[in-house]
Amino acid sequence: MQTKALPVVAMGLMVFLARAAVAPPTDTETSGTVERTRMVALAYTKRMPDFVCTQTIRRSYHLTLPKNWIDSDVLTVKLRYAGQTEDRQLLQRNGQPVAPGEPSGGLENIGEFGGMLESVFDPSSQAEFHWESWKTIHERPAAVFSYRVEKARSSYMLSFDPGGYMHRQVVGYHGTVEVDLETGGVLRLVYEADTIPKDFPMQFASTAVDYGFVEVASRQYLMPIRSEIETNTDGIRSRNISEFKDYRKFSTDSTITFGDTVPNQ
């Protein structure tokens, strides 16, 4: 019985996956994986469908070490993505409806839906990538890379408004990226600010975003499913843990319902 030869690309991937279990990648393989992921990352927001989902944010803080986190509040947010534009609407605080347009206050989440991913892989950032290890994520083979973006080429900006005056500072950053070897998509992105001026109020900022495959309009997309952001501002350590659920295609009549409460659209 004759068997058909596998395409060169598929054969190359099989060899790469087989080697992944026992040996580090060659420089050529590392470069190829990074460049493939770059193409996927830079096209990420353009390929995302218009959708709506529920973001639940659990906020906490602490004042001393070791970390004894004190629960602050739980926010329920309607997150809408349409026309490559992101919009968030606060619906509930600690399970209670809020007035339309009420700000969340405190530490806010931004950048999970492609913003930082694009910044890391934008050629103008000139990020330096180094292979760290192999890993299995959600039963999928992955490669872990560390990276760094120098302040001079960074678009990462820290913002802090204590009331009346907005402090802003562009900083460098570093972290890790965990890449799905089969698709080139990013399964986990971690970024931490560095080169922060000593007189800037925020002296630490770190974010980790986990991505997973979710179904929107009968198709599978790699979307944020969880994120954790932690900052240290004027000695107060703050943390937001977010979960993203109930993804579905956005339309003008999309709604999110909590119990007997139907939010305004």
Residue 262 resides in a domain: no
Residue 13 resides in a domain: no
Q: Which residues contact 64 (CB under 8 A, 6 or more apart)?
A: none
Residue 255 resides in a domain: no
Q: Please state the rounded mean pLDDT for residues 96-105.
A: 88
User: Residues 5, 9, 14, 18: is their CA dihedral positive or negative?
Assistant: positive
Q: Please state the rounded mean pLDDT for residues 256-262.
A: 43
The domain spanning residue 172 has which CATH number? 2.50.20
Range scoring the smallest mean pLDDT among 3-17, 27-41, 169-183, 191-205: 3-17
Residue 140 resides in a domain: yes
Residue 74 pLDDT > 90:
yes
Comparing CA positions, the residue from 178, 170, 171 lying closest to residue 147 is 178
Cα(151)–Cα(193) distance, integer angstroms: 10
Give this prediction's pTM.
0.84
Q: Please state the rounded mean pLDDT for residues 88-97.
A: 94
Mean pLDDT of the chain: 85
- What does the pLDDT read at residue 58? 96
Residue with tokens 């198709």: 219
Residue 92 pLDDT > 90:
yes
- Range of 146's domain? 28-249
- What does the pLDDT read at residue 162? 73
Q: What angle do CA 117, 118, 121 make, to 5 degrees?
A: 90
Residue 17 resides in a domain: no
* Domains identified in the chain, total number: 1
Residue 258 resides in a domain: no
Residue 14 resides in a domain: no
